[in-house]
Structure 1
Amino acid sequence: MSARKSAEPSPAGIARSNRQRLAAEEGARAMADAERQSAELRKNMARLRELREAKEAADADIRASLPAPVPKKRARKSPR
């Protein structure tokens, strides 16, 4: 039985550890990018919500300043 115990890692082991390291770094960059995009999206949604609420408030003020609409009378059906 010959057990191979060397102090130096094999080329395949080195390549595997490099791939794992690169994948971990790329994953961390992807997660940071996703978080950044998510923060930008939330910021834009808040901006649009404020604009919508301001427009709705302005529309409500305009409707309140206008006179109440007069209900229309129903037209009678003409007998045939």
Structure 2
Amino acid sequence: MVENSKDTARARADLRFKKQEEAATVRQKAMAEYAAESDARQAKTNKLRALRLAKEAEDLANAPATPAKKPARAKKKIA
């Protein structure tokens, strides 16, 4: 009987250990996926930022130097 209870306790402990190991594996996998998504998002953001800055620099280089100002209108005299 003592032997049987030891076996039962050992089986429960093994089962609990396996569940903990599975949970740890699932957590590690989820964190790895989260990190990969975060890295991909950051890379995409950096790429888009670089493209935007390049376009802004190109637009600034191709913009006319200064727009021609219209002459000021003469003020009307009130008679």
**TM-score over 0.5 for the alignment?**
yes
Number of the residue aligned with 1:23: 23
CA distance in 2, matches of 1:67, 1:39: 41
Residue 68 of structure 2 corresponds to residue 70 of structure 1: yes
Secondary structure of 1:68 counterpart:
coil
CA distance in 1, matches of 2:15, 2:74: 86
Secondary structure of 2:68 counterpart:
coil
TM-aligned CA deviation for residue 12 of structure 1: 2.8
Report % sequence identity. Answer: 31
Higher helix proportion: 2
Instruction: Provide TM-score, normalisation by structure 2.
Output: 0.70
Instruction: Provide TM-score, normalisation by structure 1.
Output: 0.69
Residues matched between the structures, number: 72
CA distance in 2, matches of 1:29, 1:47: 27
- CA-atom RMSD, angstroms? 2.6
Q: Which amino acid aligns with 1:69?
A: P
CA distance in 2, matches of 1:43, 1:51: 12
